[in-house]
Each structure stands twice: as C-alpha cells, then as structure tokens.
Structure 1
Amino acid sequence: MSDPAPIPLRDLRSDCARCSGLCCVAHAFQRSADFAYDKPAGTACRNLRTDFRCGIHADLRTSGFTGCTVYECFGAGQRVTQERFGGRTWRDEPALAAEMFAAFSSVRGLHELLWYLTQALAVPAAAPLHDEVGRLLAEVDALGDAGTGGTDPQPRVGELLGRVSALARAGLPGRRARGAELVGARLAGADLRGADLRGARLLGADLRGADLRLADVLGADLRGAELAGADLTDALFLTPPQVASARGDGATRLPSGLVAPAHW
C-alpha cells in the first residue's frame, strides 16, 4: 500500500488517563437496568471525580452502571482532549463545553468507522480492496481534525465493508440472517461460519460453542448473548462494546486485538 499505515487498534480504544471525562458528561442516560439514575446531556455524572476519573470504576456493575462497562469511545475522548483542544478542558474553561461535547460526538462516530476499516485491512481475502480501504481510512481519519460538519462518510464505509465481507466469506456456506430477529435463539454449537449477521438482534441468544469464524457481525446486537466456548477468532467487524455486552468465558475465542472483559 502506498497510503499511510493502518491505525493500530490499540489507538482506537479509550485512554481515560488522557481524556477529560467527556463520555461522563456529554452523554445523557436514563435510569434503567444500565444506569442507576437519570442524567441529562452536558451534566457531569455524579461519580466523576475532579481528576476526570470514575469514583466507582471498580464497582460499576454492582452499583447499577452496567451501561458504562460496555461503552467504548474508540479513542475519541483522548483525541478531542489532547489534539483538538490541546489539553484544555470543559471544567477549566466552561465556555469550551458545548464545542468539546459536539466534537466528541462527531469524532466518536468517525473513530468507530476507523475501527472497522482497520479491521478490514487485516482481512487477507480482501487484499484486492486494501488500497481502497486505506485511502478511505486516511480520509475518515482526516475528518477527525476537521471539526463538525461535512459529508457523512458512513454510507461509503458501509458499502466498502460490504464488499470486504463478501470477499472474506466467499465459498463459505454461511446463512444469511442480516437484520434477523434472533432474540433468545437456540444456536448452541451451530455452524455459523461466514454467516451474514449484520444488524441481527441476538439478545440473549444461546451461542455457546457456536462457530462464528468469518461471520459478519457488524451492528449485531449481542447483549446478553451466551458466548461461552464460542469461536469468534476472525469474526468480521466485532467491536469491544459487542464483546462486553455478551456473556463469554475463558474458552471464548476472540479476534486479535480484542480482549475478554473483566466481568466474564
């Protein structure tokens, strides 16, 4: 490739030590099974300390904040804090708050696209598309410095990832279940190699011991899905929030660059 090297996935993960607690302020949440109380957007979470660390980080799940444990900003927080605003914070300069929160929302979406594109560059079967992926990756990355506004690159990224997926899954017998309602489905031990599961609702599905190698899970809802012993070694476009929202164990196999969450 003549384009810049892909962004390492480790740089597309949150680094709270370099952020100003943006996700704990910019987002709203409602009291539910995921959050212990209502919080409007733009108001700091009551658990956010003055050093921008979470005061109950080690006890989030037992304190009613499961939603925080499955959230990932894909590195947007530190990029906005350190690069866009040069280390300045909304707390020290309240006049920056609205601009910082808007930038965070925009960059977070862009960084999720960068996660997918970086994964696409690691798919050997998609080598014929790697130059195109690299160019689009560089374009999306540049938007992270350009501020809010501009053309939304998501449709182009989605179309290109679809072609990457088709090349990766070519020749496999994977079923097509794109957008399927599979809530609570009994799929333990199922051969789902190369399955098209984009956008599928797999809430609480039993996928224990299932073979999900090269399954396309972009946007699939895996909340509460049982993944004990499942093989997702090279599942396509799997993200940290999807992994964290599911239930796995020490025998669950994940793609390179993803680690099992502590609560498994």
Structure 2
Amino acid sequence: MHNYPGDLTDLRGDCANCFGLCCVALPFAASADFALDKDAGQPCPNLRGDHRCGIHSALRQKGFGGCTVYDCFGAGQRVSQVTFAGQDWRTASREHARLMFDAFPVVRHLHELLRYLTEALALPATRPIRTELRSALEETDRLAGLTAPELAALDVGAHRRQVDVLLLRTSELARAGTRGRRKDRRGADLMGARLQGADLRGANLRGACLIAADLTGADLRGADMIGADLRDAGLGEADLTGAFFLTQPQVEAARGTAGTELPRSVSRPAHWTQLH
C-alpha cells in the first residue's frame, strides 16, 4: 500500500513521470475551456514528443483554460510507472495503448477518492469512524493497483457510492462543531449568486453550482466543498480556513486575491492577483 502523507503530495499530478495521459486518453469538446474537439485516445495537437505541452505557459491565452484546472490526483504517474512499468504508449502496441487509456480514467477516479479519504483521516472530528476510513482507503488503494484489464472491468461507480457514505459521515462530524445554524446548500443552484460577506461557516456546499457566484468576503470556514463547482467564482478576501474536501482544480477554476484565506490542503493559484 502507498503511504499518503497529510500534505497529499503523492496525490497530485507529477507530469515528469507521466506519458501525457490526460492529453491523450481523455476527450474534450470545443468550448470556453478548450479551443478544439478531441476524441478519447487521440493525442492533443499541443502534446510534444517528450510528453510535455507545447503551449503550457500560454494555455489560457490559447483557449485551453480547461487544462489549467485539471489534476489527475497522481493517477497519471501511477498508470505510467506502476501499472505499465514505464512502457510508453507511443512505442507500445495499439492494444497496449488502448488498455493504458482505459485504465487511466478509472485510476483517476480512485485517486480522487484516496485524496478525500486521506484528508478525512487527518480531521480530528473523524476519530469515531477512523477504522472504517482507513479500511476504505486501503481497499481503494488496492483497487487502484489492479492490472489494466481488471481496472477496465471495475465498477468504479459502485465503489464510489460505498466510499461516499463515509465521506458524508465525515462531513457531518467535521461540521458538527460549528456554532450556530449550518446552512445546507447541497446540490444548490447558486450560479451567479450574490453572496458577498455571506456567513457560510460549516455549510454543506457538496455539489453546489457556484459558477460565477460572488463570494467576496464570504466566511466559508469549515465548509464542506466536495464537488462544488467554483468556475469563475469570486473568492476575493473570502475565508476558507478549515474548509475541507476542497481540491486544487476547484481553486484554480475560481478567482481569488492575496487576501483569500485558503486551507493548507491547497496552494494559492499563480494566476490569482490582488484586486484593487
């Protein structure tokens, strides 16, 4: 079993040890996030022979903003270096490459669960369910280590539903210590909502649509952010201290400032600038 430290380092993409799998295995459609259509299994035209992106420093300017908010949670390097023992899809047989492309999204789903379970285990409030969380993490890691044919046949949705029960319990335990009324906005449509200075301490924002919402100065301390869509959401001066299940892709997709307070589980995006 892999050892996932509290800083989640092993559950972040390491492009230097991956064969550009996200640039090949996954499809995307021409939209505000991608400048063109690409089928699954077709290399992105920007992918170089060394598996690096040819426009990495100008992705947003070139119309590939969707790439800047993607994270495989470490699945890319695991599939490249462990599942396929370092064999490159470019030099492998067509069948070998297809297996790699099929395995990658499955492992990515499993690694996302590993990321949440690792964070859940680090929360003091989850002590009552720590044994169950540890068992779930170990089983998820075991599944991620299956062979490529086994991964392709895996019902990852069924496993995700099992883990989700524990993640919901984690949310209840972690938010229980928040004083006052905890808002339940699970799955809410808050697209473009004006939530400046809103008191969302300990709120359940699981799966909420917060696209282009104005959360300037909002208090999101201790909120459950799992699956919340923060694309173009304004987080200037917002306080997300102690918010949990917040991932790097979510904050990369949002707009923040130097005054935005973030939990230690994520890093401040380089493209965030101070608003005046």
Fold conserved (TM > 0.5)?
Answer: yes
CA distance in 1, matches of 2:106, 2:28: 18
Q: Which moved more, 1:141-150 or 1:12-21?
A: 141-150
Of 169, 184, 204, 1:176 maps to 184
Q: Deviations over 1:90-140 (max 9, x none)?
A: 101132111001110110000000111011012111111112111110110
Equivalent residues in 2 for 1:88-237, closer than 5 Å: 88-95=87-94, 96-146=96-146, 147-148=150-151, 149-151=153-155, 152-172=158-178, 173-237=181-245
Shift of 1:7: 4.5
Q: What secondary structure sits across from 1:43 in the alignment?
A: coil
Equivalent residues in 2 for 1:67-78, closer than 5 Å: 67-78=66-77
CA contact (8 A) 2:246 2:265 kept: no
Equivalent residues in 2 for 1:17-96, closer than 5 Å: 17-95=16-94, 96=96
CA distance in 1, matches of 2:265, 2:93: 36
Q: Which runs of 5+ in 1 are unaligned?
A: none
Q: What secondary structure sits across from 1:236 in the alignment?
A: coil
Provide the identity percentage. 57
CA distance in 1, matches of 2:269, 2:79: 25
CA contact (8 A) 1:13 1:73 kept: yes
CA distance in 2, matches of 1:215, 1:162: 13
Aligned residue identity for 2:55: I
Structure 1 stretches of 4+ moved >6 Å? none
Q: Deviations over 1:230-255 (max 9, x none)?
A: 11121121111111111111111111
Question: What's the Cα RMSD here?
Answer: 1.4
CA distance in 2, matches of 1:206, 1:250: 16
Shift of 1:11: 0.6
Q: Deviations over 1:20-67 (max 9, x none)?
A: 000000111111111111111111001101000001101100111000
CA distance in 2, matches of 1:89, 1:216: 39
Corresponding pairs, count: 262
Aligned residue identity for 1:26: A
Q: What secondary structure sits across from 1:165 in the alignment?
A: helix
CA contact (8 A) 1:14 1:73 kept: yes
The change in CA–CA distance for 1:4 and 1:30 in structure 2 (over 3 A counts) is closer
Q: Which runs of 5+ in 2 are unaligned?
A: none
Aligned residue identity for 2:110: L
Aligned residue identity for 2:166: L
TM-score, normalised via structure 2 length: 0.92
Q: What secondary structure sits across from 1:121 in the alignment?
A: helix
Of 237, 241, 255, 2:263 maps to 255
TM-score, normalised via structure 1 length: 0.96
The change in CA–CA distance for 1:212 and 1:181 in structure 2 (over 3 A counts) is same
Q: Deviations over 1:141-196 (max 9, x none)?
A: 11011131334310111110111111111143221111111111111111100111
